[in-house]
Amino acid sequence: MTNPIEIHKHRHLKYLRTEILPTAFCSGCGCGTILNIFVNVIDEMGIDPNDIIAVTGIGCSSWIPSPYLAVDTLHTTHGRAIAFATGVKVMKPEKHVVVIAGDGDLSGIGGNHLIHAARRNIDLKVFLVNNFIYGMTGGQVSPTTPKETKTTTTPYGNSEQPFKITELVAAAGANYAARWTTYHIFKLKKAMKESIEKKGFSFIEIISQCPTSYGRKIGQKEGIDQLNHFKANSIDIKNKEKYSEEDLENKIVVGKFVERNRREFVDGLREINKKLAVSN
């Protein structure tokens, strides 16, 4: 039995700038999945897109919000999305300020802004899409590329240690930090909701596939091959203790790393202004 294929449009396309679809993402890229889950989350949470300001940097994953997401969008310079977003959030704390960008952008060139924003605990929702590579520029080694991986700029294998970004952000003081993959779509969705509900710096590292510039080079040609790899190699943080550090080296530890209630940065600034207004 074959089903007739009807022309039907996704109900969440209303959140996208549909005139520029289909996306520019390669077939099987995880960026679109993250976009899909994000609009699903804002729909379920009933968030008005007019209350979202998306800030992004440079790279494939920066294209998730810009241009596709139909909200106020600030597409900034490479690595600086969080710095620009800080100015945005201070002026309009009532808005959801969301930063979506890649591992190279947020943890490479922009790593300093990432840790300082986490330390300040400013109420930004940061979704770092980690595909282990500089994809847009054609597959150069990134701060998250696993050891020994051959990339265009590590032709003899990567001799560096990759960043553990979620651990870094948790240690820097964020109110929420989690890591999931594009395989764990329901858990990722739940984490996105939690992070949006959480006041303070909320961070999710989303391990994602890049079939074109990364997967092909490590023998995982299709997007689905990398998803299967994520599935087979993910370890829930709850079970982390069962493994030695060595065992964990090539695994993806997923789950919620931290959730706490430190005072939020803009609240702190506004408290000062309130006090001064009274004393004057």
Partner 1 sequence: MAKINKKFKLFIDEELCKGCNICVELCNLHVFDISPKINNKGYYIPVPERIEDCNGCQICELSCPELSLILEEIRL
Partner 2 sequence: MNNKEYLKDFAGKTLFVQGDEAAAYGALFAGCNFFAGYPITPASEVAELMAKELPKVGGFYIQMEDEIASMGAIVGAAWTGGKTMTATSGPGFSLMQENIGYACMTETPCVIVDVQRSGPSTGQATKGAQGDMMQARWGTHGDHEIIALCPNSIQESFDLMVEAFNLSEKFRSPVIFLTDGEIGHIREKLVIPELKDIFIQPRRISESKVDIFGGERIPPMIEFGQGHKIHVTGSTHKSNGMRDVSSQNVHDVLIRRIYEKIELNRDIIVKYETHFTDDMDYLVISYGASARPSLGAVHSLRKQGKKIGMLRLITIWPFADKITRELCKKVKKVFVPEMNLGQIAREVERFTSNPVIKISKIGGVSHTINEISEEIISNI
Which residues of the shown chain bind partner 2 in the complex (CB under 8 A)?
Answer: 17, 20, 49-50, 53, 55, 66-67, 70-77, 80, 82-88, 90-92, 95, 112-113, 116, 269, 272-273, 276-277, 280
Closest approach of partner 2 to the CB of residue 258, in Å: 21
Q: Site for partner 1 (CB under 8 A): how many residues?
A: 39
Which CB, 5 or 278, lies closer to partner 1?
5
The rounded distance, in Å, linking the Cα atoms of 177 and 165 is: 10
Dihedrals phi, psi of 175, to nearest 5 degrees: -75, -20
Closest approach of partner 1 to the CB of residue 168, in Å: 28
End-to-end CA distance of the chain: 78
> In the range 178-237, which residues lie near partner 1 by CB under 8 A?
182, 185-186, 189, 222-224, 227-228
Sole window of 36-44, 46-54, 148-156, 246-254 interacting with partner 1 (rule: CB under 8 A): 36-44
Closest approach of partner 2 to the CB of residue 36, in Å: 19
Which CB, 194 or 267, lies closer to partner 1?
194
| 165 interacts with, out of partner 2, partner 1, none, CB within 5 to 8 A per kind | none
| 202 interacts with, out of partner 1, partner 2, none, CB within 5 to 8 A per kind | none
Nearest CA to 201 out of 168, 179, 167, 169 is that of 169
| 35 interacts with, out of partner 2, partner 1, none, CB within 5 to 8 A per kind | partner 1
| 248 near partner 1 (CB under 8 A) | no
Which CB, 16 or 191, lies closer to partner 2?
16
